[in-house]
Amino acid sequence: MNYPLETVLLAFGLTLLAGLNTGLGGVISIAKRNPGPQFLAGSLGFSAGVMLYVSMMELVPTGIESLAKNWEEKLATWVGVGAFFAGIAVIAVIDRLVPEPMNPHEPDAISDRQRKQRQAAMMKTGTLTALAIGIHNFPEGFATFVAGLEDAKVAIPVAVAIAIHNIPEGMAVGVPIREATGSRRKALVWSTVSGLAEPAGALLGFLLLMPFMGPTTLGVVFAAIAGVMVFISLDELLPAAVATGRHHTAIYGLIAGMAVMALSLLMFL
C-alpha cells in the first residue's frame, strides 16, 4: 500500500520523538551529582518495577492477544507462555556465558579489585537492560509507526503514552551504566541509544518487515521479551538494589516503578 510522503514523515517523526524520550529518563538518572546507596537502591528498584510491570501486565497479555488472532485462544495462551519462558531461557544462557565478576549479594567491598568487580557487574546489568529495552522498543516503534500511517488521531496519543513510559525505561538503563562507569555522559548516551530502537523498528519495519510482520510473529516477540525483562529484573536489578544495604528503599522504588508504569499504560485506554 502506498502512503503519501507527508504521512510517512509524520508517522516516523512521532516514533522518533517517543523513542528519544528514553534520553529524558537518562537525564533524570544523572541529575543527582553524587548518588549514594539510598538513591542507587531506589533507582534500581524503580527500574525493576518498571520492567516487571510492563512485562507481566502489558507484554505477555498483548502477545497472547496477538497470537489469538490466528490461533484458538487456549493454544495461543500456551504458545505465549512458552515464548515467555523461552525468553527467560535464552537470557539465562547468555547470562551464564558472560563471566560473573562478582556475587551481587556480597556486602560492599573496600579493595580496588572488588570495587572494579562491582563496577563490572553494574556494567553487565546496564548492558543487558539496554539490550532488553532496545529489543522491546523495536516492535513498539513499528506499532507506533503503523498507527501513524493509518490514523494520526490515534497515533498521537499512543506516541505520547509511549514517550511517557519511555522515561522510566531510560532510567533503567542510565542508573547502572552511571554507577559502572562513573560517567554521566555515557549513562545519557546509552539511555538515548536504547530508545533509538523505536525509530529503527519503524524504518526497518517499513522497508523490510511489513510483508512478514503478522500477529503470530509479534505475539511471540512480545512474550519472549517479557521473559527477558523479568529475568533481568530478578537476577540483576533487584539483587544489585538490595546489595546496597537499603532493602526497604529498593522495595519502595520497585513499587513506585510499577505505579509509574501502570499510569503510563493507562493512557492507552
Q: Residues within the annotated binding site?
A: 137, 140, 165-166, 169, 198
The residue whose grid cell reads 522510566 is 168
Q: What pLDDT is recorded for position 110?
A: 44
How sure is the predictor about 1, in pLDDT bands with cuts at 50, 70 and 90? Answer: low
Q: Residues within the annotated binding site for Zn(2+)?
A: 140, 165, 169
Q: What is the mean pLDDT of residues 66-80?
A: 94
Encode pLDDT of 119-132 as tens digits.
777 787 778 777 77
Nearest residue to 158 (alpha-carbon basis) of 175, 176, 168, 145: 145
Report whether pLDDT(216) > 60: yes
DSSP state of 108: P
* Pairwise CA distance, residues 205 & 188, whole Å: 26
| 82 or 263, higher pLDDT | 82
Residue pair 44/253 in contact (Cβ under 8 Å)? The answer is yes
Report whether pLDDT(172) > 90: no
CA 63, 57, 168, 97 torsion: positive or negative?
negative
> CA 257, 131, 259: angle at the middle one, nearest 5?
10
Q: Residues within the annotated binding site for Fe(2+)?
A: 137, 140, 166, 169, 198
Encode pLDDT of 89-143 as tens digits.
988 887 777 555 433 334 444 456 666 666 777 787 778 777 777 776 776 677 6
* Pairwise CA distance, residues 76 & 63, whole Å: 9
> CA 161, 220, 26: angle at the middle one, nearest 5?
40
* Pairwise CA distance, residues 214 & 176, whole Å: 35
Q: What mean pLDDT value characterizes the chain?
A: 79
Q: What pLDDT is recorded for position 84?
A: 95
Q: What pLDDT is recorded for position 99?
A: 52
Q: Poorest-confidence range of 90-94, 152-156, 178-182?
A: 152-156
CA 264, 52, 169, 227 torsion: positive or negative?
negative
Q: What pLDDT is recorded for position 14?
A: 86
Q: What pLDDT is recorded for position 214?
A: 74
Burial of 212: CB neighbours in 10 Å, binned 0-12, 13-18, 19+: exposed
pTM over 0.75: no
